[in-house]
Amino acid sequence: MLHALVLLPLLGALSAWIIPDNRLRPIVLPVVATIHGILTALLLGNAPLPSPDGWIWLDPLGKIVLLCISMLFAVCAFYAVGYLSYRQERSNRVLCVGLLVCLSAMSMVTMTQHLGLLWVAVETTTVSMAPLIYFNRNARSIEATWKYLLLCSVGIGLALLGLLFLAYSTYVADHHATLLLGPLMASARDLNPAWLHAATIFLLVGYGTKMGLAPLHAWKPDAYGEAPGLVGALLAGGLVNCAFLSILRVYQICLASGTEIRFFQQGLLVMGLISMAFAAVFMARQADFKRMLAYSSVEHVGILAIGLGLGKGALYGALFHMLNNGLTKGVLFLSSGNIHRSYSNKTTGVVRGALTRLPWSGGIFLAGFIAITGSPPFSPFISEFTIVSSAFIEGRYLVGALFLLFLVIVFIGMALTVLPMVMGTPPADIEPSDYEDRLLTVGPPLFMLMVILMFGIWPPVFLVSLLKDGAAMLGVQP
Amino acid sequence: MNLFADQLLVLVMLINLVMLGTSRLIFSIRAVAVQGVILGILPGLIHPFSTHLATITAVIILAKGVAIPYLINEAVRKAHIRREVEPFIGYVPTLLLGAVFTALSFVFAEQLPLAPEHKDLLFVPASIATLLTGFLLLTTRRKAISQVIGYLVMENGIFLFGLLLSEAMPFMVEAGALLDLLVGIFVMGIVINQISREFSSIDTSRLSALKEE
């Protein structure tokens, strides 16, 4: 059944490639997404045992990421049908194929225990997303694609060197190189510290680039700003979480080594705080609302890194936040895509009074803004609160205080962009557009909003136990 | 055999410096291809023969020595350019920087203890030096093609280190990594083509519309 998660999207990609009709082709997306979602639900309840060679195992950490990816993809897939019906002027073949190949690679990321295979899958997600950023085929989007492709490829290359260092450290220790997570963790204490240290640095920098942690985030605002809304949603909620899972794997090894974990956590804390600071600075007076969402993503990967860097109780919060951030970014990117479509513009100079012009999309965007800035009753509030309260419980007052300070600055900065966009009256001289809110373009983000509202008010029992299992894998005593 | 391997590794480092000093793109592409072929030969020199090893040699030479240089060559041909003009930092300064980086990589390599059978090999310094050369090319050159070449040199550096492990690594992972690289270069080739169509040039300093006001 695990194999089906990887093979099914590939099969879908093949049929999307073959189908000649531009209107019919996007239907493949929701079909594949629905089956993928059902399989995911079945696997979450009853995951198979690890494969005999130890390469494939859907562990609790993988399950959390898989849950997020499957849900996000399903929502984006239904949205894509509605969105692409407005974009019939250009072929959507590459878009559909790319999305499905990416889904396949992301599913592989969640279930593999072999770090080499994990790397191959992460690199595949990077390459398969590149043509999608270029969907709009103009000068700006080609620039964004180029930066994304080059910077992420270089970052991932550095992660590969880190992996090779890691494998070599096992070779020095017992003349048998391995990149399987189980044996690596079992022998972590005997690994040569110099090699392990070098490996950790390269892996942190490499996967940190892919995740978009400052100061390695240079590609992010451009790529998120120019990509279509649904591609942005998958970048911010899918690829980011795949990179975060890779960092979690490194964390597991560092934890097992006993000595390396202090350095790794320190590195994560510093990068996390820098990310939040960068986001706070650039969020203020950001005229382009899609770029604003990119900086929000930089902020939230910073929060994830801080949660991981603090360890202990914050780990539960970090895992929960990974899920919440992914889903909330879905809400924001999809609804902002609608607003962009309606105004044919994404700067706050033109986009005003979205609530009047597009009551549904505007309302969902506003609610998404309230959720992502960590206001109750939505679930990001709970996860951020868990992280910050654990910082104070552990006596890390400086980290906790900076965390809160940056959150406040980001809230104000984001509000200064979002509120004028949504409130007020739409400019009179704006051209009418053929876009109007329909079930297929409003329903998916609305559904996602309901999900994070439910996670915030009444988190399902299975989710809480899954997150606890995940935190236990990262060394939290249950 | 180790002596021959070391000589090849020195050759790799010399090619790095040659690439930093030249402005002719075709020449750079050939140099990368030669590096790729050396990368393919090296595992046969340091590991005992096996079919696994022979396959790896063949795949590396095919991918890095033939297929990828061909793809870049095509991109150069389509974009009608021959030379890298006016890099951000001149050729002589980058050449000097390259030499300094090579020296530093020997210092860095001293810190990392190699397994006894690899003790007298230059793999680690050569790998780090090549990686840093790739970085230099990436950051100092303007043309998109030169940047792709820089990325390839960097990847060569990473693979160079991986060769120490080529016996122990599963074939699937190596093949997957090479395939990803190949597809990545393919996509970059397409993007370069689009850039040259959109801007009538592949000068990446023109890619500057996206920034904070």
Find chain A residues with C-beta within 8 A of B165's C-beta: 164, 167-168, 171, 177
Query: Interhelix angle for B51-60 vs B171-199, to 10°?
Result: 0
Cβ-Cβ contacts under 8 Å between A and B: the total is: 124
- Residue A421 Cα distances to A8, A252, B210, B213, angstroms: 40, 43, 21, 19
pLDDT in tens, A412-426: 999 999 998 898 888
Domain of B77, in residue numbers: 2-195
Report pLDDT for B85: 67
pLDDT category, B111, cuts 50, 70, 90?
Answer: confident
Give the residue-averaged pLDDT of B69-84: 83
User: Which pLDDT band holds residue A435 (cuts at 50, 70, 90)?
Assistant: confident
The beta-carbon neighbor of B154 closest among A124, A154, A194 is A154
What per-residue confidence (pLDDT) applies to B121?
Answer: 83
Stated as kind and residue range, the H or E segment containing A75 is helix A60-84
pLDDT surpassing 90 at residue A329? yes
Is position B212 within any domain? no
Confirm whether B11 is domain-assigned: yes
Q: Is residue B213 part of a domain?
A: no
**DSSP-derived 3-state class of residue A108:** helix
Residue A71 has a pLDDT of: 95
Task: Tell me which chain B residues have a C-beta less than 8 angstroms from the C-beta of A222.
Answer: 210
Higher pLDDT, B213 or B41: B41
Above 90 in pLDDT, residue A326? yes
Reply yes or no on whether the pLDDT at B33 is more than 70: yes
User: Which range in A105-114, B15-24, B176-185 is most confidently predicted, on average pLDDT?
Assistant: A105-114
Q: How far is A380 from chain B (nearest CA, A)?
A: 28
- Flag if A192 and B113 touch (Cβ within 8 Å): yes
- Going by pLDDT thresholds of 50, 70 and 90, the confidence category of residue A264 is very high
Instruction: Answer whether residue A18 shows pLDDT above 70.
Output: yes
Q: How far is A440 from chain B (nearest CA, A)?
A: 31
Q: Which range is least confidently modeled, A174-178, A344-348, B64-68?
A: A174-178
Nearest to B158 among A149, A161, A179 (CB): A161
B204: in domain = no
**Distance of CA A110 to CAs A33, A117, A247, A421, A472, Å?**
16, 11, 12, 37, 17
Contacts of B4 (CB under 8 A, 6+ apart): B45
Whether B199 sits inside 8 A of A164 (CB atoms) is: no
Q: How far off is chain A from B112, nearest CA to CA, in Å?
A: 6
d(CA A152, CA B3): 37
Site from B46, B124, B158 to mutate, A interface, most A CB atoms within 10 angstroms: B158
* Distance set, CA A426 to CA A224, A340, A344, A434, B148 (Å): 25, 14, 13, 16, 45
Q: Is residue B200 part of a domain?
A: no
Residue range A343-355: mean pLDDT, rounded:
86
A139 alpha carbon, distance to own chain's centre: 26
Tally of CB atoms within 10 A around A359: 12
In a domain, B130, yes or no: yes
Contact A174, A187 (CB under 8 A): yes
- pLDDT for B213 beyond 70: no
d(CA A273, CA A413) in angstroms, rounded, equals: 17
Whether residue A117 and residue B183 make contact (CB cut-off 8 A), yes or no, is no
Exposure of A189 by Cβ count < 10 A (0-12 exposed, 13-18 middle, 19+ buried)?
Answer: exposed
Q: Tell whether B208 is covered by a domain.
A: no
φ and ψ at residue B107, rounded to 5 degrees: -65, -45
Q: Which residues pair with A279 in a beta bridge?
A: none
Q: Residues 114 to 143 of B: which have CB under 8 A from any A CB?
A: 114-115, 127, 131, 138
**Distance to chain B for A179, nearest Cα, Å:** 8
Which tokens go with A217? Answer: 């985030």
Q: How many domains does chain B have?
A: 1
- Tell me the mean pLDDT in the region B130-155: 90
The pLDDT tens digits for A50-73 are 888 888 999 999 999 999 999 999
Residue B140 has, within 13 A of its CA and on its CB side, a CA count of 22
